A and B are shown apart, each in its own frame.
Chain A
């Protein structure tokens, strides 16, 4: 174990904590930008520190291909290679393999696939995944899991869940650096509460430093999604971090935090920036749209980032999709937005004003306390809050009835 997790404040199930990792002391709830190939697209490490990024996710699959984990190891690990002084997390490589390689096949040994470089048959075993991650050197590493899409039904899900538990033992055995790198287990089991429960208990028995809720963020309906998260957060230990993989949209992060999750990652903010879309309290703003051509307002008047303080929608409009600078500036804003969202979640929970300030718009408390608070329910000005959100908040013990018209 190479981390400390200390809860600093709560509201019902939501918690704000300090997660102290070898390279950085993070505050949760937190959002991890995805730096697939050892970089966040278009941003320097200085800029990432400037906007308050605490931990970045690196993709094991991509890094193992180029520049290879051996090279990263030889040059002192990924932190040194990228010159990122704060925390890093690597995933196991399994997900990319399954989603990117249509000829991938999963057996008890591991994931067999065709190398994208030369077509040779290759095998990623739990042991190999951990060895690669040991060489990369991230603060948190993920166990190789047998991940199945939630849209699949049948015995495959049960098989995958039990295999995930067996593979976790192999990962633990193969892990050479438990005092520098924290191995997280991943809860699988599809949308079946019985399977999820078995998996949670199996992982908790192994006494890992932290736990992830996997197999979501793949197209399942939102109602099923929140229920799985709620079940897992209720069953996972209080004193360890909980990471919902692949989430996501600001709304999803707020709901999951209300239900007791701590960590998130998603390519969405940076990917959508490259398509000219900005994240704003009201939802999204499509800068490509012709309506923006002469709009002299900033992207988000409540945002304190360098982009919103200096640029108009009109100017960003003329850059997006045409010039590299457009992508850069929008990625900067979108990441700032997500990181500010995390900071607001943390501080509002610690200060005991999570429900008032966070969820309910037009509260006098909000206006006076913090003009940067993301009033996420402003996305629904007509009060048409989705039913799944209402149900989830109900379970989280947060009253949002004043925002719902139904």
Chain B
């Protein structure tokens, strides 16, 4: 894996490029890692994946824990690894034990032998040995070492323990590291970077995975916690994070110098019947005639279950070129949701992914034009204004 920073905005946000062996094209950062379940998107089948913008949509994230009930690492190896098993040879896979949707860190049950996660198969404790066995058989393009993540409000003692364990497991993972596959060293807590530096001198990482976020810290405290980590990381290496899903949270991550993001946002929108509609066009568009007309809209997204869409024969977003907007109407998706048809989620996941990838593209453009800070401010402000207007007009 190769990474290079290409542009910086006036703050710490940076635009870069990642090149992975299996992907034919380089992928620009900051970028979104698409969520998967066992290596495939939750609803979008592999033949429909190619309708998403490329190469933006070519980086997928999975958790080895998805496979805790089979197939065995031996079988996966004999098939030839994850790329082969899921038939996505020209995609890049990032392996992280945590996926923010269904494998959630359960720090209360984590102990010195392994990290605990709540999964659909129940609570699972995974040890570094087992984790590395899975990584070795799956051969992802990049993977994060096993970490003991705790929320920001954990007491000092627990925080220190989490760092000690994460460092220890980092050594154990690296010791069993397969040839090929870029290692992202895991960093937890916001402190004790000295410990990290100690290891960093001896081990070359391909990048850093920042853990401990998206576990309940507030929007206000997050920037300083993020900066405490990123300020102490070497600039030329990529930084990946889990748990910053909402657009405003992504912007905070970008502002602190993070390059790769997962997001559970698309999944939660999709299963709720929501479709993203916030404007991606960065030109000034002040809507003076805005009135609270739709009961199903808050200007970011629409709830397609709302009866107001029953006869709406227009696409979700008028000039969106995703498969869903090119082929189907809000009325049809409203019907599918009402009769509980799976096609609704498929179409929504396609649109929402497409739209969110567009958001990341706007971020990259803003950075390259040197105006990311303004972009972030305007974005956050315009959403707050609309909410304020809604409150007043009701």
Contacts and interface: CB of A to CB of B under 8 A. Distances in A.
Nearest to A74: B311
A324 B42 contact: yes
B339 interface: yes
Interface in B71-86: 71-72, 74-75, 78-79, 85-86
B117 to A, nearest CB: 17
B323 A46 contact: yes
B342 A41 contact: yes
B42 A81 contact: no
Given A67-B335, A75-B313, A314 B70 contact: yes
Residue of B43, B331, B335, B346 with most chain A CB atoms under a 10 A cut-off: B335
Given A41-B341, A83-B327, A325-B37, A318 B69 contact: yes
A326 B292 CA distance: 41
B237 interface: no
A43 B40 contact: no
Given A37-B341, A44-B346, A323 B310 contact: no
Interface in B322-366: 323, 327-329, 331-332, 334-336, 338-339, 341-343, 345-347
B339 A323 contact: no
Interface stretch (B45-53, B103-111, B160-168, B215-223): B45-53
B122 interface: no
A362 to B, nearest CB: 31
A325 B43 CA distance: 6
A61 to B, nearest CB: 12
B386 interface: no
Interface in B135-173: none
A294 interface: yes
B180 to A, nearest CB: 22
A71 B336 contact: no
A47 B328 CA distance: 14
Given A37-B339, A41-B342, A306-B47, A75 B70 contact: no
Contact of B87 (A50, A310, A323): A310
Nearest to A42: B342
A315 B313 contact: no
Interface in A274-320: 293-294, 296, 306, 309-312, 314-315, 317-319
A45 B327 contact: yes
B79 A296 contact: yes
A319 B342 CA distance: 16
Given A42-B342, A42-B346, A323 B67 contact: no
A152 B337 CA distance: 39
B343 A39 contact: yes
Contacts of B48: 44, 46-47
A211 interface: no
A38 interface: yes
Interface string A44-76: 111100100000000000100011000100111
Nearest to B85: A315
A328 interface: yes
A251 interface: no
A318 B335 CA distance: 31
Contact of A39 (B43, B69, B70, B341): B341
A62 B339 contact: yes
B311 A325 contact: no
A382 interface: no
Given A41-B341, A83-B332, A325-B40, A312 B79 contact: yes
A125 interface: no
A82 interface: yes
Contacts of B45: 47, 325, 328-329, 332
A319 to B, nearest CB: 6
Contacts of B368: none
Nearest to B327: A83
B196 interface: no
B310 A71 contact: yes
A71 to B, nearest CB: 6
A47 B48 CA distance: 9
A71 B332 CA distance: 11
Contacts of A120: none
Interface in B109-125: 120
B42 A323 contact: yes
Contacts of A309: 87
B43 A312 contact: no
Contacts of B336: 37-39
A150 B68 CA distance: 49
Interface in A234-260: none
Contact of B42 (A306, A325, A327, A329): A325
Interface of B: 37-38, 40-43, 45-48, 67, 69-72, 74-75, 78-79, 85-87, 120, 310-311, 313, 323, 327-329, 331-332, 334-336, 338-339, 341-343, 345-347
Given A39-B343, A81-B332, A311-B87, 12 more contacts: A37-B336, A38-B339, A41-B341, A42-B346, A44-B327, A71-B331, A76-B313, A293-B72, A294-B74, A325-B43, A327-B342, A328-B346
Interface of A: 37-39, 41-47, 50, 62, 66-67, 71, 74-76, 81-83, 293-294, 296, 306, 309-312, 314-315, 317-319, 322-325, 327-329, 332
17 contacts: A38-B335, A38-B336, A42-B346, A44-B323, A44-B346, A44-B347, A66-B335, A67-B338, A75-B329, A81-B331, A81-B332, A294-B75, A296-B78, A315-B79, A317-B71, A325-B40, A329-B45
Which 6 pairs of residues, A with B, have the shortest CB-CB distance? A310-B87, A314-B71, A294-B75, A37-B339, A42-B342, A67-B335
